[in-house]
Protein backbone atom coordinates (compact mmCIF):
# COMPACT_ATOMS: atom_id res chain seq x y z
CA UNK A 1 0.00 0.00 0.00
CA UNK A 2 2.81 2.37 0.93
CA UNK A 3 4.68 1.43 -2.28
CA UNK A 4 1.53 2.19 -4.27
CA UNK A 5 1.16 5.57 -2.56
CA UNK A 6 4.80 6.42 -3.11
CA UNK A 7 4.72 5.47 -6.81
CA UNK A 8 1.40 7.27 -7.38
CA UNK A 9 2.71 10.46 -5.76
CA UNK A 10 5.96 10.15 -7.77
CA UNK A 11 4.14 9.94 -11.12
CA UNK A 12 1.72 12.70 -10.04
CA UNK A 13 4.69 14.92 -9.18
CA UNK A 14 6.47 13.97 -12.43
CA UNK A 15 3.43 14.83 -14.59
CA UNK A 16 2.93 18.12 -12.77
CA UNK A 17 6.65 18.89 -13.03
CA UNK A 18 6.57 18.29 -16.81
CA UNK A 19 3.47 20.48 -17.29
CA UNK A 20 4.92 23.24 -15.10
CA UNK A 21 8.20 22.87 -17.01
CA UNK A 22 6.23 23.47 -20.23
CA UNK A 23 4.70 26.60 -18.65
CA UNK A 24 8.14 27.89 -17.67
CA UNK A 25 9.55 27.08 -21.13
CA UNK A 26 6.60 28.81 -22.83
CA UNK A 27 7.28 32.00 -20.90
CA UNK A 28 11.05 31.69 -21.44
CA UNK A 29 10.58 31.18 -25.20
CA UNK A 30 7.99 33.90 -25.84
CA UNK A 31 9.85 36.57 -23.89
CA UNK A 32 13.12 35.47 -25.47
CA UNK A 33 11.82 35.86 -29.02
CA UNK A 34 10.20 39.18 -28.12
CA UNK A 35 13.49 40.45 -26.66
CA UNK A 36 15.79 39.12 -29.39
CA UNK A 37 14.57 40.87 -32.56
CA UNK A 38 12.10 43.71 -31.86
CA UNK A 39 14.37 45.83 -29.57
CA UNK A 40 17.26 45.72 -32.09
CA UNK A 41 15.17 46.17 -35.26
CA UNK A 42 15.31 50.02 -35.16
CA UNK A 43 19.12 49.76 -35.18
CA UNK A 44 18.87 47.30 -38.08
CA UNK A 45 16.57 49.62 -40.04
CA UNK A 46 18.97 52.51 -39.61
CA UNK A 47 22.30 50.73 -40.17
CA UNK A 48 21.51 48.06 -42.78
CA UNK A 49 18.35 49.23 -44.57
CA UNK A 50 19.32 52.96 -44.33
CA UNK A 51 15.85 54.15 -43.37
CA UNK A 52 15.30 57.76 -42.37
CA UNK A 53 13.84 58.58 -38.94
CA UNK A 54 10.38 59.10 -40.45
CA UNK A 55 10.46 55.71 -42.12
CA UNK A 56 11.66 53.98 -38.95
CA UNK A 57 8.84 55.62 -36.98
CA UNK A 58 6.29 54.61 -39.61
CA UNK A 59 7.35 50.96 -39.64
CA UNK A 60 7.45 50.77 -35.83
CA UNK A 61 4.02 52.41 -35.47
CA UNK A 62 2.29 49.59 -37.36
CA UNK A 63 2.72 47.02 -34.58
CA UNK A 64 0.49 48.45 -31.80
CA UNK A 65 -2.45 49.19 -34.11
CA UNK A 66 -2.35 45.73 -35.68
CA UNK A 67 -1.82 44.05 -32.31
CA UNK A 68 -4.89 45.79 -30.84
CA UNK A 69 -7.00 44.24 -33.63
CA UNK A 70 -5.26 40.85 -33.73
CA UNK A 71 -5.36 40.06 -29.99
CA UNK A 72 -9.19 39.87 -29.77
CA UNK A 73 -9.36 37.89 -33.02
CA UNK A 74 -6.92 35.21 -31.88
CA UNK A 75 -8.41 35.12 -28.37
CA UNK A 76 -11.85 34.55 -29.93
CA UNK A 77 -10.51 31.75 -32.16
CA UNK A 78 -8.76 30.07 -29.20
CA UNK A 79 -11.87 30.34 -27.01
CA UNK A 80 -13.98 28.80 -29.77
CA UNK A 81 -11.54 25.93 -30.41
CA UNK A 82 -9.84 25.32 -27.04
CA UNK A 83 -8.25 22.06 -28.16
CA UNK A 84 -6.33 23.94 -30.87
CA UNK A 85 -4.79 26.42 -28.40
CA UNK A 86 -1.30 24.88 -28.62
CA UNK A 87 -1.25 24.35 -32.42
CA UNK A 88 -2.60 27.88 -32.99
CA UNK A 89 0.26 29.32 -30.92
CA UNK A 90 2.77 27.22 -32.87
CA UNK A 91 1.42 28.13 -36.31
CA UNK A 92 1.17 31.85 -35.56
CA UNK A 93 4.71 31.87 -34.15
CA UNK A 94 5.94 30.12 -37.31
CA UNK A 95 4.26 32.67 -39.59
CA UNK A 96 5.45 35.66 -37.55
CA UNK A 97 8.96 34.23 -37.32
CA UNK A 98 9.06 33.76 -41.08
CA UNK A 99 8.12 37.42 -41.51
CA UNK A 100 11.06 38.56 -39.37
CA UNK A 101 13.45 36.24 -41.24
CA UNK A 102 12.14 37.80 -44.48
CA UNK A 103 13.28 41.19 -43.13
CA UNK A 104 16.74 39.65 -42.75
CA UNK A 105 16.58 38.52 -46.41
CA UNK A 106 15.63 42.08 -47.42
CA UNK A 107 18.68 43.36 -45.54
CA UNK A 108 20.94 40.88 -47.33
CA UNK A 109 19.58 41.95 -50.71
CA UNK A 110 20.17 45.64 -49.84
CA UNK A 111 23.74 45.09 -48.68
CA UNK A 112 24.56 43.09 -51.81
CA UNK A 113 23.14 45.78 -54.18
CA UNK A 114 25.83 47.94 -55.84
CA UNK A 115 25.67 51.44 -54.30
CA UNK A 116 26.63 53.34 -57.47
CA UNK A 117 23.16 52.87 -58.99
CA UNK A 118 21.57 56.01 -57.48
CA UNK A 119 18.29 55.96 -59.41
CA UNK A 120 17.46 52.38 -58.60
CA UNK A 121 18.45 52.99 -54.95
CA UNK A 122 15.92 55.83 -54.66
CA UNK A 123 13.25 53.72 -56.32
CA UNK A 124 13.90 50.72 -54.17
CA UNK A 125 13.91 52.70 -50.92
CA UNK A 126 10.13 53.15 -51.05
CA UNK A 127 9.81 49.51 -52.03
CA UNK A 128 12.03 48.57 -49.11
CA UNK A 129 9.85 50.52 -46.70
CA UNK A 130 6.72 48.95 -48.19
CA UNK A 131 8.08 45.41 -47.98
CA UNK A 132 9.40 45.91 -44.43
CA UNK A 133 6.05 47.38 -43.37
CA UNK A 134 4.26 44.36 -44.78
CA UNK A 135 6.46 41.93 -42.86
CA UNK A 136 6.23 44.03 -39.68
CA UNK A 137 2.44 43.91 -40.06
CA UNK A 138 2.55 40.13 -40.44
CA UNK A 139 4.74 39.80 -37.32
CA UNK A 140 2.40 42.06 -35.33
CA UNK A 141 -0.68 40.14 -36.49
CA UNK A 142 0.63 36.61 -35.90
CA UNK A 143 3.26 36.63 -33.17
CA UNK A 144 2.53 39.58 -30.88
CA UNK A 145 -0.90 38.26 -29.74
CA UNK A 146 0.93 35.15 -28.48
CA UNK A 147 1.74 37.04 -25.26
CA UNK A 148 -1.89 36.95 -24.17
CA UNK A 149 -2.36 33.46 -25.63
CA UNK A 150 0.56 32.18 -23.51
CA UNK A 151 -0.91 33.86 -20.40
CA UNK A 152 -4.26 32.17 -20.92
CA UNK A 153 -2.62 28.85 -21.86
CA UNK A 154 -0.56 28.79 -18.67
CA UNK A 155 -3.60 29.69 -16.58
CA UNK A 156 -5.53 26.85 -18.21
CA UNK A 157 -2.67 24.38 -17.77
CA UNK A 158 -2.27 25.31 -14.10
CA UNK A 159 -6.04 25.11 -13.85
CA UNK A 160 -8.23 27.04 -11.41
CA UNK A 161 -8.24 24.12 -9.00
CA UNK A 162 -4.45 23.93 -8.96
CA UNK A 163 -4.06 27.71 -8.65
CA UNK A 164 -6.26 27.72 -5.60
CA UNK A 165 -5.48 24.20 -4.45
CA UNK A 166 -2.65 25.01 -2.13
CA UNK A 167 -4.25 27.74 -0.07
CA UNK A 168 -8.05 27.53 0.09
CA UNK A 169 -8.16 23.75 0.22
CA UNK A 170 -5.62 23.54 3.02
CA UNK A 171 -7.40 26.30 4.97
CA UNK A 172 -10.71 24.51 4.63
CA UNK A 173 -9.24 21.18 5.64
CA UNK A 174 -7.67 22.80 8.71
CA UNK A 175 -11.08 24.08 9.81
CA UNK A 176 -12.57 20.59 9.76
Q: Does residue 19 bind other proteins (CB under 8 A)?
A: yes
Using CB under 8 A as the binding rule, the residues of this chain from 135 to 164 that contact other proteins are 146-148, 151, 153-164
Closest distance to other proteins from the beta carbon of 2 (Å): 18
Using CB under 8 A as the binding rule, the residues of this chain from 39 to 98 that contact other proteins are 39-44, 46-48, 56, 60, 64, 71, 82-83, 85-87, 89-90, 93-94, 96-97
Judge contact between 95 and 138, C-beta under 8 A.
Answer: yes
Closest distance to other proteins from the beta carbon of 110 (Å): 12
- Residue of 84, 87, 85 whose CA lies nearest to 95: 87
Judge contact between 149 and 79, C-beta under 8 A.
Answer: no
- Residue of 71, 51, 70, 43 whose CA lies nearest to 125: 51
Compare residues 102 and 121 and give the one whose CB is closer to other proteins: 102
Judge contact between 129 and 51, C-beta under 8 A.
Answer: yes
- Among positions 107, 124, 134, 137, the unique one binding other proteins when judged by CB under 8 A: 107
Amino acid sequence: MSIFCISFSFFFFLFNFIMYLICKLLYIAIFSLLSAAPPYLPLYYRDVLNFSSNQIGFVLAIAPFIQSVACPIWSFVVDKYPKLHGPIMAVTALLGGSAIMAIMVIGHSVSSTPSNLIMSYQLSNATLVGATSFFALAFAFFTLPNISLVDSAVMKILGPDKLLYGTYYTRLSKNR
